[in-house]
Amino acid sequence: MAHGRRRIHLNGFKQPTVSHTAHGLWRHPDSRHHRYRELDSWLDTARTLERGGFDSLFVADVVGPNVVYRGSVDQSLREGTQTPSIDPLLIVSAMAAVTRHLGFGITVTTTYEQPYALARKMTTLDHLTNGRIGWNVVTGSQESAARNLGVGELPSKEERYAIADEFMDVVYNAWERSWDDDAVVMDRERGVFVDPERVRPIGHHGRYFDVPDVFLCEPSIQRTPVIYQAGTSKPGRAFAAKHAEGIFTTSARIEQIKPVVEDIRARAAALGRDPQSLKFLSLVAVVVAPTDAEAQAIFEDYQQYHSVEGTLAFFSAAMGLDLGSLDPDQPLRDVPVPGVQGLLDAYTRLDPDREWTPRQIAEHAGATGRPTIVGSPATVADELERLVDEVGIDGFNLADVMPGVTFPSFVDLVVPELRRRGRVPERYPGTTLRESFYGPGRRHVPDDHPAAAYRAQRNRAAVGAP
């Protein structure tokens, strides 16, 4: 790495569905979107991203059908907009088996899971991947998920975050406090596999969860997975400042998220955390070819397949707001959003000089669905560098606009240019996902992270301190 040039962290961004960020492109003759259900496609993706030095593959998820747009699932089914979808956790072990360093950030909601069960799933994956697991903590925004998963009515945003905060207390307790590092003694002579004196009950009795017994798993390499978060509403920012190590951001223009970055870093500092330990990753689409002209031609070809209704169906589900019931030219600035407020804020509040309407949001999103950089390797690298340096972010979530094309093109064309400029390392700094964030040997949460308080309790108990 060149001296004085900050590393650019790279993550692949996918969802195991047909239409995720690019709506309509499944109709393109080169499309492999339908292969979301084929294991070989995921294995190819993992190998490609590791070849490009990506920190992780971040896998988005929803747990209910998209039924908001025009009050029906029909448009989402027609477009494959997050429906159908498969469970991302079940893909990870296979991808880990064909890679050695690539991490996996998996989206799981705290509103519908149980913390004891989720802690076990994440520890299992961290064991099986040798410490390459991250968890994107979401609170859920779909009424359909609440109905179908036994919650009934979706809790308010404030209550969902209250549930999430207590959820984190339970899982930190399980991961960091319940088992000592040396609890597994495997003493064949005495017939003792685990020393009971080195394992203690979780003993959590809270408003939402009651978890009295010991954790079911021995500690994994990272203990606590790398914690990701993506909410930029007021409670989302507070949650990120307290818990997140990696923060995903999205906006109509990446420059607009600079105040968000500064605000969350300031909140983290006020909580006693190192604000620079939070890694901000902005969602971006890249269309790259050997020359600017070739890249522009590819982009214009993609635009021909853009589906406005597919885009609106996606935004409707994420926001919990039926954009199909509104006048397509109605300003959205003061429209209440029960779902992901930050998704609408990315347009209406972070770009205050423009009156965003449903039509304008769909047209702006275009075929790629997100802010897009189009050009040659040098052009793309220039823009990525500029955004990191001027906005204060740490890297990017690269949307898989055209599966089988987007990631290989970026790895083959852009990554060599970024490596030449000292922005992407030639090799991974360690073997775990957290080491990709913080450097060699830093496998566990930093001392200023809230999970570390449970580690301190464990250490005191291990030496018999009060």
| Cβ neighbourhood burial of 189 (10 Å; 0-12, 13-18, 19+) | exposed
Domain that holds residue 451: 9-307+368-462
Residue 359 belongs to a domain: no
CA distance 421 to 180: 44
State the pLDDT at residue 303: 93
- pTM greater than 0.85: yes
Strands (E), 340-454: 372-375, 395-399
Residue 99 near residue 129 (C-beta atoms within 8 A)? no
Residue 62 near residue 139 (C-beta atoms within 8 A)? no
State the pLDDT at residue 338: 66
State the pLDDT at residue 351: 65
Residue 371 near residue 251 (C-beta atoms within 8 A)? yes
Q: Which residue pairs from 329-334 have beta carbons closer than 8 angstroms and sit at least 24 positions apart in sequence?
A: 329/357, 329/358, 329/359, 330/357, 330/358, 331/355, 331/356, 331/357, 332/356, 332/357, 332/358, 332/361
State the pLDDT at residue 82: 86
Residue 434 near residue 444 (C-beta atoms within 8 A)? yes
Residue 325 belongs to a domain: no
- Which residues, 6 or more positions from 76, have their beta carbon under 8 angstroms from its beta carbon? 65, 66, 67, 69, 82, 83, 313, 314, 317
Backbone angles phi, psi at 179, to 5 degrees: -115, 135
Helix (H, G, I), strand (E, B) or coil at 21: coil
Q: Is 231 left (phi over 0), alpha (psi -120 to 50) or beta?
A: beta
Residue 275 belongs to a domain: yes
State the pLDDT at residue 464: 67
Residue 327 belongs to a domain: no
Number of neighbours of residue 273 by Cβ within 10 angstroms = 22
Q: What is the DSSP string of 211-263?
A: E-S--SS---SSSSPEEEE---SHHHHHHHHHH-SEEEE--SSGGGGHHHHHH
Residue 328 belongs to a domain: no
Total structural domains in the chain? 1
291 token code pair: 């020359």
Residue 194 belongs to a domain: yes
State the pLDDT at residue 342: 65
State the pLDDT at residue 1: 45
State the pLDDT at residue 2: 43
User: What length does the chain have?
Assistant: 466
Q: What is the DSSP string of 340-367?
A: -HHHHHHHHTTSTTS---HHHHHHHHTT
pLDDT tens-digit profile, the chain (466 residues): 444 488 999 999 999 999 988 899 999 999 999 999 999 999 999 999 999 999 999 999 988 888 888 888 998 899 898 889 999 999 999 999 999 999 999 999 999 999 999 999 999 999 999 999 999 999 987 888 888 888 888 898 899 999 999 999 999 999 999 999 999 999 999 999 999 999 999 999 999 999 999 999 999 999 999 999 987 788 999 999 999 999 999 887 888 899 999 999 999 999 999 999 999 999 999 999 999 999 999 999 999 999 888 888 888 887 778 888 888 888 877 776 666 666 677 666 656 677 788 888 888 778 887 799 999 999 999 999 999 999 999 999 999 999 999 999 999 999 999 999 999 999 999 999 999 999 999 999 999 999 999 998 988 776 665 5
Identify the CATH number of the domain in which residue 295 sits.
3.20.20.30
